[in-house]
Amino acid sequence: MDRIDTMRVFVRIVERGSFTAAAQDMDLPRSTVTDAIKQLEARLGVRLLQRTTRHVSATLDGEAYFQRCRRLLADFEEAESSFAGATPKGVLRVDVHGKLARHFLLPALPAFLERYPGIELQISEGDRLVDLVREGIDCVVRAGTPQDSDMIARRVAHLPQVTCASSSYVARYGLPMSLGDLGAHRMIGFRSTLTGSVLPLEFSHGEQMRELMLAAPVSMSGAETVTAACRLGLGIIQLPRYSVEEELASGELVELLPQHAPPPLPVSLLYPRSRQLSPRVRVFMDWASQAFAEKT
C-alpha cells in the first residue's frame, strides 16, 4: 500500500472511529487496514490512534496528522480531476428520504451513472439526523430548514405544499371554508425528530404566515405514516403536493383551504463544513440540483 492509500485508510479510520467500519467502507480486509496503520506509526515514530474495545480516536499527534492528510488528499484528488478528460471516481455515500429519492432522483439516476461510470453510488434512506463524518456519509438530502451550523447547505428546491384530509374525514367533520372554521377540526400531529415537539400547521394569511395548533389525538414522526393515517380519516395534515398527487386526483384526499396554502418546503443538500468538497460530491450535487429543478 503506497503512502496516499495509507493516508486514505488513516483518515477513514479517524472519521469512522473504527478499523472494521473503515475496512468495510474501503472494501479491504481488516488485517490490511491494521497492518497499514502499524507500518505508518512505525515510520512516523509516533502513536496516532487510541484504541478501546468500542471506539478508536486520534491522539494529539494523530489529530494533527489527520488534518494535514485530509488537506493533502483533497488537493491530490482536485489535481487529478483537473486534467482534461478526468472524471470523478470512487465510492459516494448519500443519505436521502426514500420518497424524495424515488420521486426526484431515481428517474434520472441511469443518466448520472452513465456519465460517471467510475462513481459507485451508495444511497441510504432516512430523515433522521446523522453524523456524516462518523457514519462515513458524504452528503445528505433533507427537507426543511437546516439547523446544523456545522453543515454547508445548498438549496435545491422549494416544494409546494398542500393542506388535506381524507374524503371520509370531510364527510364526518365538514369542509372548512376559512381559518376560523379550523377550531372545530383535528390534525394528525407531525412530531419533529429534532425537538420531539408536534409542529403547528402553517397557513398563508395575506402577506403573513399564521401558525395553528389543532387538537391532535395522535402524533407521529414519519411522513409516510402520517399520510397513511390521513387516508384513514384521522385528521388534517400538511405535506408536499407531489407526494399525494394521485390521492388528490382520485378524490381519496381533499385539498383544504387552498386560498391559505402552506409555505413551500425547502429541500437542501448538506455536507460537513469541516470536509473539503470532493469532485464526486460536487458533480452529484450539480446533478441532484438539476434533477429537482426538472420536476418542480
Determine contact, residues 154/269, Cβ cutoff 8 Å: yes
Residue with cell 502499524: 38
- 133, pLDDT greater than 60: no
Residue 174 neighbours by CB under 8 Å, 6+ apart: 181, 184
Answer whether 0.75 is exceeded by the pTM. Answer: no
CA 222 to chain centre: 15
> How far apart are the C-alpha atoms of 240 and 262, rounded to whole Å?
9
Residue range 198-211: average pLDDT?
Answer: 92
| pLDDT range class, residue 199, cuts 50, 70, 90 | very high
What percentage of the chain has pLDDT greater than the value 70? Answer: 91
- 116, pLDDT greater than 70: yes
> In the chain, what are the domain boundaries?
3-81, 90-143+273-294, 161-263
Highest mean pLDDT among 128-142, 253-267, 275-289 belongs to 253-267
pLDDT of residue 44: 92
Q: What is the SS3 assignment for 152?
A: strand
C-alpha cell, 35: 497492518
CATH fold for domain 3-81: Arc Repressor Mutant, subunit A (1.10.10)
Residue range 252-274: average pLDDT?
Answer: 91
Is the domain defined by 161-263 classed in CATH 3.40.190.10?
Answer: yes
- 289, pLDDT greater than 70: yes
Determine contact, residues 226/188, Cβ cutoff 8 Å: yes
Residue range 29-49: average pLDDT?
Answer: 93
pLDDT of residue 68: 87
> How far apart are the C-alpha atoms of 92 and 98, rounded to whole Å?
17
C-alpha cell, 117: 461510470
- 275, pLDDT greater than 70: no
> How far apart are the C-alpha atoms of 24 and 47, rounded to whole Å?
23
The number of helix segments (H) and strand segments (E) in the chain equals 10, 15
Same fold, 3-81 and 161-263: no
pLDDT of residue 79: 72
pLDDT of residue 189: 95
pLDDT of residue 193: 72
> How far apart are the C-alpha atoms of 163 and 239, rounded to whole Å?
7
Average pLDDT of every residue of the chain: 88
Residue range 155-171: average pLDDT?
Answer: 95
Closest CA to 228 of 188, 274, 258, 262: 188
C-beta atoms surrounding 8 within 10 Å = 20
Q: Which class in CATH covers the domain with range 90-143+273-294?
A: alpha beta
